[in-house]
Amino acid sequence: MRWKKPVCVLLLTLAGVTALAGIQRLLMPKYMGLVVEGNFTSEYYEETTPHDVLFLGNCEVYENISPIVLWREFGITSYIRGNAQQLIAQSYYLLEDTLRYETPAAVVFNVSAMQQFDQDNESYNRMTLDGMRWSASKWNAIRSTMMEDEHMIEYIFPILRFHSRFAELEPDDLTYFMGSGKVAHNGYYLRADVRPAGDLPVERRRSDYSFDPRAWEYLEKIRVLCEENGITFVLMKAPSLYPAWYDQWEVQIEEYASEHNLLYVNCLEVSDEIGIDFTTDTYDAGLHMNVYGAEKMARYFGPVLLALPGVKDRRGSVSDGIDLDSVWQEKCDFYDQMKASQEEEFAELGYIKQFYIQ
Amino acid sequence: MDELLEILNDINPDVDYETNEHLVDDEILTSFELVMLVTQIRDVFDVSVPSEAIVPENFNSAQAIMRLIGRLQEDE
Amino acid sequence: MSLVSYEFLAFFAVAAVLYYIVPKRFQWILLLAVSFLFYAGGGVVYLLYPLITAVSTWFLALRIGKADSAAQAYIQEQKPDKEQKKAYQARIRKRKMRLMMAGILLNFGILAVLKYTNFLLGNLSVLFSPEDGAVRQISWVLPLGISYYTFQTMGYLIDVFRGRYKPERNLFRFMLFVTYFPQMISGPISCFDQLRKELFEEHSFDGTKITFGLWRILWGFFKKLVIADRLASAVAMITVSPDTYDGIYVLIGMLGYTLQLYADFSGCMDIVIGVSQCFGIRLPENFQRPFGAKNLSEFWRRWHMTLTGWFREYIFFPVSTSRFCKTVSRLAGKLGMKKGSKKLPVYIANLLVWLVTGIWHGASWNFILWGLANGIVMMVSQEFTGLYRSFHRRFPKTDGKAYGVFEKVRTGLLFAVLLMFQYYPFGTVFVMLGNLFMTGRPSQLFDGRLAGLGLTAADFIVLAVGLILVLLIGILQETGSVRLKLAEKPLVVRYTAIFLLFVMVLVAGCYGHGYDASQFIYNQF
């Protein structure tokens, strides 16, 4: 009977740990309602085939370009690793994280994140970082962007952060207990509603237009990491009207690009060429593109990307024994279906229920 | 001894002081009663009990209190 | 470093592991180093005050001890006659008294200056220039736990003076007694001859002790995080604005404040004592189910016991048996107050103790009046003791269980009512009590004010469950240690019980994002 006690202890400990893991899962936000952005980071790991192009940045990338159109019309395989208020340091570590799985031919970084180095709302940090798989990159991403009252241990055991949700559990928490549903299209956040751009708040003049030195440092780190891995590094600025993109900033980015011989596309300057119509192509009055704007962006960017070394039309090809066409067909179907149902809902109601704040 | 029992009964008549050996531990004599007891011992036996002598061992039973009084009388 | 922070848990874990790794004779040195580190965490300046207290007290106590041994040697060698001996002893006593008073004046002086200067300045300025509202305040670096370690250290000095034990020769050992980190911030106030054995003994790893310690810590976390901190903001809202929260809310605020105070302070003690138990070091208890007390003076023997014990030992007994009280009592006797004269010393000492208790709790009139109110209630009930006894003799049925419960509830309520002096201005206490009785109605619970307190339905459920659990544990405790009982249960039961408690703290605890990290109430002293 000497084995009985240790076995009992072991079993009980296992049961305890399992129960705790279950409770933690239950209490973690599922991001399946009004806010779906918390699912983006983790969806990346479900990918089965590699990507030629990786987009990095904040909401200005994940809402502004459609990877589905890039595939359908140009055969470009791409993925957006962007999140709400994704800081430049987080972009760097997400790139590191991506390189553990694949090496894209090109990385496109949206430069608007240069204007703010420190996080101002911890829930953005959680949405970006919680979905990351554990690695040194995740650890470093947390350490470099954590707010003052955040703790590393609350990322290691997220229950410490989300425990108080016990009082506000929803049906979603059970429905998506085993895992959230898919919400994005290769990182793209689809919105088919329309809200024309109207008067935007007047931007205040700033006394200092220089970027935070730490932002420069991370931009350089991204560039060097790309260089080391033979990746073409491209800079872009999405065509968002707000927050403003100042000329003084533009000059600095242009200088950096030319210094390092990088391609830099400022979509604000070529928005006519892209064909963006701010009365129809934005869903929140000019801050972000809706699906119509994002598709136009993709059509503009397709040829630009195809001109980069290593970026090819992959239609009809096979990767590691997997037929890309069928993989992407599934993605296209999901996209078309979501787009159609949103369009229908918007036509009928004038808004989309999921995103409607009462 | 009788004098002491009289004082004790005056403080709380509901206790059998001749047998009880946990007067302090059972909180029959709390600090209020202890001090009143010490005051009266001073008046009746003419010994002053120093405050450091007010510890449970010295007051848990009537016998113990008598022993304390005896000791103090010797010291005087 | 708060006892309920991740930092403290990590600090404690590292300290505990090191404690059982280092050779046993170095264990106390490790504790000293860790205590210094803990205390210096907020800034090295903070360490200065306890070190001054430790060094000065250590030195003076040694001198007192020397005087004692000199006296013993003199008596043994010279064999003086009775008169000579008495005269010599008086001389020695005088010298010892001077040494003790030096220590007491210095250390209580530091405490008084640091804690009460602003209170004094405020009152003086009101007295001399009442229309000038702005009071200049001095911001001292107030070291944590100064009230606790000063009292503990002075208890030691007085004990050595009284010859209760020999002074400690090793300065560093004595420093550990003063700064032992679990207890330094908020007590319990220990006695040197008890703590010495625990601190300097060699402790081998004892799984049971450590398990029990951890269980106790968990229970402390439960009381603090699940109950006390959940009540905190609602209680603060009610007690701060008597105009908005009147009627039945006076009662709610009163009960909430009392429960919060209890859960907070006794929870803190559970953590402190549990942490210490993991080092194999037993600290004295500070609470013994106070809400099971049948009258107020019993309540105070079971609430913050080490502090009330200190006051009893070093103020109440010495003052009530002092020459001054003797004289006053004789005088009263001569004036014909035969009965009163016996009680006079007790009452004088009692009022003094409660005045000091009030001042100890905080430099404000609220606390002073609260202390005095307790003292007065205690004296009044003492006056009625005879009446109670004859009442019980006349109605023996009142010894039953129901009456026992009634007495406990009455005592708890009395304590709660007296606590009102801590948070309402003096006059307001009576106004609000009147208001409660005149206008308080249960229907006021549904007039929207309850919702304004920021507590959700879930919070109320958690509070109810938590308080019932505390009550049940309290009842279980009446027949012996709950942890011993739990340890006798089968493995599965034990694990499940602890696991459930852990989950409750983990999930329903008020900590982390969205909650302000709140200090323990009793850390402020």
Residue A136, amino acid: A
Report yes or no: C506 and A159 within 8 Å, Cβ to Cβ.
yes
Best C230, C463, C507, C516 member to test A by mutation, with max A CBs in 10 Å, is C507
Q: Which domain, by its residues, includes C177?
A: 6-127+140-205
Report yes or no: A76 and A69 within 8 Å, Cβ to Cβ.
no
Query: Are C189 and C214 contained in the same domain?
Result: no
Please check whether residue B48 touches C, CB under 8 A: yes
What is the per-residue pLDDT for C374? 93
Domain membership of residue C438 (yes or no) is no
Report yes or no: C337 and C181 within 8 Å, Cβ to Cβ.
no
First to last CA, chain B: 19
Query: Are C242 and C335 contained in the same domain?
Result: no
Give mean pLDDT, residues C285-303: 92
pLDDT band at residue C226 using 50, 70 and 90 as cut-offs: very high
Inter-chain contact C301–B36, Cβ cutoff 8 Å?
no
Domain membership of residue A88 (yes or no) is yes
pLDDT band at residue C133 using 50, 70 and 90 as cut-offs: low
User: Which among C316, C343, C389 has CB closest to B36?
Assistant: C343
User: Which among C495, C509, C512 has CB closest to A161?
Assistant: C512
Inter-chain contact A163–C495, Cβ cutoff 8 Å?
no
What is the per-residue pLDDT for A343? 93
| Alpha-carbon distance A119 to nearest alpha carbon in chain C (angstroms) | 15
The helix/strand/coil state of C450 is coil
Number of structural domains in chain C: 3
Number of structural domains in chain A: 1
Give mean pLDDT, residues C387-411: 80
Give mean pLDDT, residues C404-414: 91
What is the per-residue pLDDT for C154? 96
Report yes or no: B69 and B8 within 8 Å, Cβ to Cβ.
no
Report yes or no: A11 and A146 within 8 Å, Cβ to Cβ.
no
User: From residue A133, how far is each of A17, A21, A155, A221 by CA, in Å?
Assistant: 20, 16, 11, 21
| Domain stops at, among C174, C190, C205 | C205
Query: Are C158 and C50 contained in the same domain?
Result: yes
**In this complex, which chains have at least 3 CB pairs below 8 Å with chain C?**
A, B
Query: Are C276 and C311 contained in the same domain?
Result: no
Query: Are C56 and C191 contained in the same domain?
Result: yes
Give mean pLDDT, residues C195-203: 92
pLDDT band at residue C516 using 50, 70 and 90 as cut-offs: low
| Domain stops at, among C205, C224, C240 | C205
What is the per-residue pLDDT for A262? 94
Distance of alpha carbon A38 from alpha carbon C191, whole angstroms = 56
| Alpha-carbon distance C337 to nearest alpha carbon in chain B (angstroms) | 15
Domain membership of residue A182 (yes or no) is yes
Q: Which domain, by its residues, includes A275?
A: 41-198+208-314+330-355
**In this structure, what is the dihedral angle of CA atoms C245, C246, C247, C251, given to the nearest 10 degrees?**
70
Q: Residue C99 above 90 pLDDT? A: yes
> What DSSP assignment string belongs to B34-46?
HHHHHHHHHHHH-
Q: What is the pLDDT of residues A33-56, one digit of tens each?
A: 888 889 999 999 999 999 999 999
Query: Are C57 and C165 contained in the same domain?
Result: yes
Domain membership of residue A227 (yes or no) is yes
Inter-chain contact C342–B36, Cβ cutoff 8 Å?
yes
Going through C15-124 in order, the beta strands assigned E by DSSP cover none
pLDDT band at residue A57 using 50, 70 and 90 as cut-offs: very high
Rg of chain B over CA atoms, in angstroms?
11
Please report the residues numbered 232 through 271 in chain A whose beta carbons come closer than 8 angstroms to any beta carbon of chain C. Answer: none
Please check whether residue A10 touches C, CB under 8 A: no
What is the per-residue pLDDT for C132? 57
Domain membership of residue A59 (yes or no) is yes
- Domains contained in chain B, CATH given: 2-75 (1.10.1200.10)
Q: Residue C420 above 70 pLDDT? A: yes
Domain membership of residue C339 (yes or no) is yes
Q: Residue C518 above 70 pLDDT? A: no
Give mean pLDDT, residues C244-265: 92
| pLDDT above 90: percentage of residues in chain C | 54
pLDDT band at residue C521 using 50, 70 and 90 as cut-offs: low
Beta bridge partners of A263: A234
CATH number of domain containing A136: 3.40.50.1110
Inter-chain contact C456–A161, Cβ cutoff 8 Å?
no
Best C321, C328, C384 member to test B by mutation, with max B CBs in 10 Å, is C321
User: Which among A16, A160, A161 has CB closest to C499?
Assistant: A16
Closest CA to C330 of B43, B47, B4: B43
| Domain stops at, among C205, C220, C247 | C205
pLDDT band at residue C320 using 50, 70 and 90 as cut-offs: confident
Query: Are C456 and C358 contained in the same domain?
Result: no
Is the ipTM here above 0.90? no
Q: Give pTM, 2 decimals.
A: 0.89
| pLDDT above 90: percentage of residues in chain A | 67
Please check whether residue A119 touches C, CB under 8 A: no
Q: Residue C408 above 80 pLDDT? A: yes
Query: Are C37 and C183 contained in the same domain?
Result: yes
Residues of C within 8 A of B38 (CB-CB) are 320-321
Residues of A within 8 A of C510 (CB-CB) are 164
Residues of B within 8 A of C297 (CB-CB) are 30, 32
pLDDT band at residue C159 using 50, 70 and 90 as cut-offs: very high
Among A6-10, A220-224, C148-152, the minimum mean pLDDT is found in: A6-10
Q: Which residue would you say has higher pLDDT here, A15 or C401?
A: A15
| Alpha-carbon distance C454 to nearest alpha carbon in chain B (angstroms) | 44
| Alpha-carbon distance A21 to nearest alpha carbon in chain C (angstroms) | 11
Quick one: closest CA in A to C462, which residue?
A: A167
Residue C102, amino acid: A
Q: Prior bond to A243 cis, omega within 30?
A: yes
Q: Which residue would you say has higher pLDDT here, C17 or C128?
A: C17
Report yes or no: C200 and C173 within 8 Å, Cβ to Cβ.
yes
Q: Residue B22 above 90 pLDDT? A: no
Q: Which residue would you say has higher pLDDT here, C525 or C393?
A: C393
Give mean pLDDT, residues A282-307: 91
**In this structure, what is the dihedral angle of CA atoms A9, A12, A17, A22, given to the nearest 10 degrees?**
180
> Are chains A and B touching, using the cut-off of 8 Å on CB pairs and a minimum of 3 such pairs?
no
Quick one: closest CA in C to B34, which residue?
A: C317
What is the per-residue pLDDT for C522? 62
Q: Residue C237 above 80 pLDDT? A: yes
Domain membership of residue C200 (yes or no) is yes
Q: Which residue would you say has higher pLDDT here, A68 or B41?
A: A68
| Alpha-carbon distance C465 to nearest alpha carbon in chain B (angstroms) | 33
Query: Are C38 and C100 contained in the same domain?
Result: yes
Domain membership of residue A26 (yes or no) is no
Query: Are C200 and C305 contained in the same domain?
Result: no
Quick one: closest CA in A to C456, which residue?
A: A167
Give mean pLDDT, residues C449-453: 85
